[in-house]
Structure 1
Amino acid sequence: MTRTFDHSAATWRKSSFSGPDNECVEVADGVAGVLPVRDSKDPLGPSLVFTHEAWGAFVAAVRAGEFGVGG
């Protein structure tokens, strides 16, 4: 399923885990049914759009160390 949204109307926020060089991701809150994610270094570039369930599963996997990071 492909979902689109208006990037220009989105309010983006940086991850609280942003590094000193601003190497992080940004998310747009308040987009119905999905969670858009983009690279903070390329705000005009593409974004990935996840369902809340898919994003939650990804975050849980990172926290569980399934990608060799997190915990």
Structure 2
Amino acid sequence: MSPTEQETARRREREAARRAERQAEKAERAAARAERKAERIRREQRRLAFMRRRRRLRADDVTVVEESA
């Protein structure tokens, strides 16, 4: 292998390593983004469940008041 070919091979290895590193960073960012999205969805579901419980309690309270009147 000539010196030029060796340099080309080294350069390709460096570029491949750099590319792999960038892809790993991109995957980490995507995973973090997905985790934030999942947490947002869980938070919204908890909020909606809480609102449904409050509404159900209010409906029950109204029913009790109407029955006692």
Shorter chain as normaliser: what TM range? Answer: under 0.3
Higher strand proportion: 1
Question: Greater relative contact order: 1 or 2 (C-alpha under 8 angstroms, separation 6 or more)?
Answer: 1
Higher helix proportion: 2
User: Who wins on radius of gyration, i.e. which is larger?
Assistant: 2
TM-score, with structure 1 as normaliser: 0.24
TM-score, with structure 2 as normaliser: 0.25
